[in-house]
Amino acid sequence: MASLLGKKVFEINGQGPPPTKDFFQLTVTKTEVIWRSWKISLRIEFKGAAPGENRMTHDDYLHNARMQRKVGVVFGQQILQYTQALCQGNFDYLERLPNDLLLQILAFLELKDLCNSPEFWEQTVRGRCDELTPEMEALANAMGWRKIFFAFFNTKEHQQYVQGEYQTSPNFDKFLQWKEYEKQKITDKYFHEFRTLGKGGFGEVKNSGQMYACKKLCKKRLKQKNGEGMALLEKQILEKVNSLFLVNLSYAYDTKTHLCLVMTLMNGGDLRYHIYNIGEKGLEIDRINYYIAQVTTGILHLHAMDIAYRDMKPENVLLDSFGQCRLSDLGLAVELPSEKTINQKAGTSGYMAPEILKKEPYRMSVDWWALGCSIYEMVAARLPFKDYKEKVQKEEVARRTLEDECKNEDPRKHEWFKGINFPRLEAGLIDPPWVPKPNVVYAKDTGDIKDFSEIKGIVFDDKDDKFFKEFNTGAVPIAWQQEMIDSGLFDELNDPNRKESAAGLDDEEKKSKSCTLL
């Protein structure tokens, strides 16, 4: 625990760990953020709240015993939820994790010794589970049985440490400082917009520099189409997911006219554009195999959180500048906890499963149907059931459907993926078969993107204002912390030999209100 900040692990959200490469490397590596105005100084000292701002300062935190207890307990619970979720009664998950990732997870759990006897901890761990896998025993021999116990089985002693010794350590002081930075209010003044990337039902997606894409949802259009619930659900789901194979949310804020979702920037275009606009129509088999393996992993990450995607299609699979792909647009995603089913019609025509068309109860299976349709389109450059402007009756869809038994098996074990090493793929260690050229824009010309018509007669009320405030939550912890690491700001502010000012920054640059890129 004492090395928490030193290990650059900031926030735990109760999910399984992201792939190692996803945590330490963003899609843009040749650019560096040199400064962002956060109303802070490089001394890591907090300024008082500005007039009109009702926010607890760092000094208030340190002298408020109730708040310290609250933060300590919450932080301890987050650590416990994260580590225990890894293999709570199921050691199969460990077999799919790279050893270096497991070591990293346990590295920051340097807890206070309760007993110096290795035999005591080994006996305790073995008494808590029926059977240990060879991987688990190897990890225990490398890290020690005590750390295994704290990571996966202990609760009471861990919380006692978090609420006691940790709160009096310098790391707790740093933790509060970074959390205050993280909670700074975000506005559009922090970003520069460059070009429109595309448009959807409620708004547009813009490139906000070299680092992020900003999805802007028109407030009036949302209210006109009763889309507030869908927008909020998408934002809440995006906050939960953190995967190398899903477009991740970094910030959520609002302006006078729009709700803004700042997400991973994908420079390589979408698969639909590659299918129909580059060379011969369709994609090469090696590219299809690689992309579908990544998409399958992304869908499985969603399903592991009881989330049905419901909008799988090539247009929603985006490539980054390295040729890796991610799923995007979670506007139709829905949470289906336990064995809950739904019969709502949702999706895109041509990719919807028969059970959706028939309005029958369904769960996650509809995503695999849509994936099958997408594979067909990547190969043949047309949909299997409905081509452009073709009208197909529901009965025809049923007639064209295979009647083979649907088996509930792990799709990664399919014969088609026999050449894919999924642990290496999930760790980002397999090179893509195709890499975008840095000087090519893989998207339609902005002139081909139609403008939205002006919306009149929409007036916002108190209910709308409440919704906007609920949407505007600012920075997403893991993404923000990752930016601090990649920008070098984390290392700079934690350098004991650091000078008062950052090298190369004059007073005017420190006042910048935007994300400055080299």
pLDDT of 507 strictly over 60: no
CA-closest candidate to residue 482, choices 251, 176, 192: 251
What is the side-by-side strand order in the sheet with 212-218?
Answer: 195-199, 203-207, 212-218, 258-264, 249-254, 474-475
Task: Give the phi and the psi of residue 333 in degrees, each rounded to 5.
Answer: -65, 150
Give the span between the Cα atoms of 443 and 198, in whole angstroms.
8
Task: Give, in order, the Cα–Cα distances in Å from 177 to each of 59, 69, 305, 480, 510.
Answer: 10, 16, 31, 14, 19
pLDDT value for 29? 25
Between residues 332 and 505, which one has the greater pLDDT?
Answer: 332
CA nearest neighbour of 310 among 271, 270, 367 = 367
Read off the pLDDT of residues 424-436 as tens digits, 9 standing for 90 and up: 999 889 999 999 9
> What integer pLDDT is reported at residue 135 of this predicted model?
66
The confidence band for 182, taking pLDDT boundaries of 50, 70 and 90, is confident
- Domains of the chain, first to last: 39-183 (no CATH), 188-267+446-475 (3.30.200.20), 271-426 (1.10.510.10)
In the chain, % of residues over pLDDT 90? 36
Going 321 to 325 to 326 to 327, the CA torsion angle's sign is positive
Confidence of residue 177 (pLDDT cuts 50, 70, 90): confident
What's the token pair of residue 488? 């070098």
What is the residue whose two structure tokens read 């993280």? 182
Task: Give the list of residues 6+ apart from residue 458 with CB closer than 8 angstroms, or none.
Answer: 220, 223, 224
Quickly state the pLDDT bin for 157 (edges 50, 70, 90): low
pLDDT at 374 (0 to 100):
97
* 69 pLDDT tier (thresholds 50, 70, 90): low
Tell me the pLDDT band of 306, cut-offs 50, 70 and 90: very high
pLDDT of 280 above 80: yes
Average model confidence (pLDDT) for the chain? 72
Work out the pLDDT band at 80, boundaries 50, 70, 90: very low
Q: Which range is least confidently modeled, 60-74, 210-224, 293-307, 479-493? A: 60-74
Whole-angstrom Cα distance, residue 262 to residue 252? 6
CA distances from 390 to 316, 373, 380, 401 (A): 22, 16, 16, 17
pLDDT for residue 325 is more than 80 = yes
Residue 496's pLDDT band, with cuts at 50, 70 and 90, is confident
Check if the beta carbon of residue 290 is closer than 8 Å to that of residue 324: no
Residue 457: predicted pLDDT: 79
- For the CA atoms of 119, 114, 75, 211, the dihedral, rounded to the nearest 10 degrees, stands at -50
User: At 465, is the pLDDT very low, low, confident or very high (cuts 50, 70, 90)?
Assistant: very high
Q: Determine the average pLDDT of the residues in 386-408.
A: 63
Query: Higher confidence at residue 99 or residue 380?
Result: 380
Residues forming the active site: 311
- 468-495 residues labelled b (16+ CB within 10 A) or e (exposed): beebbbebbbbbbbbbbbbbebbeebee
**What does DSSP say about strands 307-308 and 334-335: parallel, antiparallel, or unpaired?**
antiparallel
pLDDT at 448: 52
pTM: 0.64
Residue in 239, 237, 236, 232 with CA at minimum distance from that of residue 259: 232
24: number of CA atoms within 13 Å, CB side?
A: 9
Determine which helix (DSSP H) or strand (DSSP E) holds 249, and give its type and residue range: strand 249-254
* Contact (CB, 8 A) for 181 and 470: no
Looking at 69-73, 214-218, 347-351, which range is the least confident one?
Answer: 69-73
Q: Which residues pair with 195 in a beta bridge?
A: 207
CA distances from 303 to 229, 238, 436 (A): 21, 14, 30
Amino acid at 268: G
The answer to whether residues 33 and 20 touch, using CB atoms and an 8 Å cutoff, is: no
pLDDT per residue as tens digits for the range 246-266 = 999 999 999 999 999 999 989
Give yes or no for residue 18 having a pLDDT over 90.
Answer: no
Lowest mean pLDDT among 68-72, 144-148, 300-304, 306-310: 68-72
Give the dihedral of Cα atoms 40, 44, 50, 54; nearest 10 deg: 120
Task: Please report, as a single letter, which amino acid is at residue 16.
Answer: G
- Tokens at residue 301, please? 């990450």
Task: For residue 42, name the pLDDT band (cuts at 50, 70, 90).
Answer: very low
pLDDT at 66: 59
Cα–Cα distance measured from residue 449 to residue 157, given in angstroms and rounded to the nearest whole number: 58
